[in-house]
Amino acid sequence: MTSSEPAFVFGQRLREKYPQPLTFLKCLSCGTENSRPFKEGDYIFGMVDSEKCPKCGGTSSKIVNIYVPEKKETR
């Protein structure tokens, strides 16, 4: 088991009902990492210029991770 699951798996789950994935953005100005709900078109290392950094107000961020919560259906 690796500590973090690769995010590539989210593609196959988009067609079903899935838990809201999270996109992690790193601000290019100050390096702060923020997360927000995944939006269509997000991909790792993609550039985002529509999110405002809460710390410095910069609008250029890079996607550094996309986290897909596991569906809890054990039962």
How many helices, marked H, and strands, marked E, lie in the chain?
1, 4
Which one among 8, 29, 35, 71 touches Zn ion, defined by CB under 5 A?
Answer: 29
Give the interface segment with Zn ion, choosing from 14-22, 44-52, 53-61, 64-72 (CB under 5 A).
53-61
Q: Is 16 helix (H, G, I), strand (E, B) or coil?
A: coil
The reply to whether 56 sits near Zn ion by the rule CB under 5 A is yes
Residue in 9, 14, 30, 47 binding Zn ion, rule: CB under 5 A: 30
According to the binding rule CB under 5 A, does residue 53 interact with Zn ion?
A: yes
Q: How far is CA 61 from the centre of its chain?
A: 12
- In angstroms, what is the C-alpha Rg of the chain? 14
User: What's the gap between Cα 2 and its chain centre?
Assistant: 19
> Which residues make up the interface to Zn ion (CB under 5 A)?
27, 29-30, 32, 53, 55-56, 58
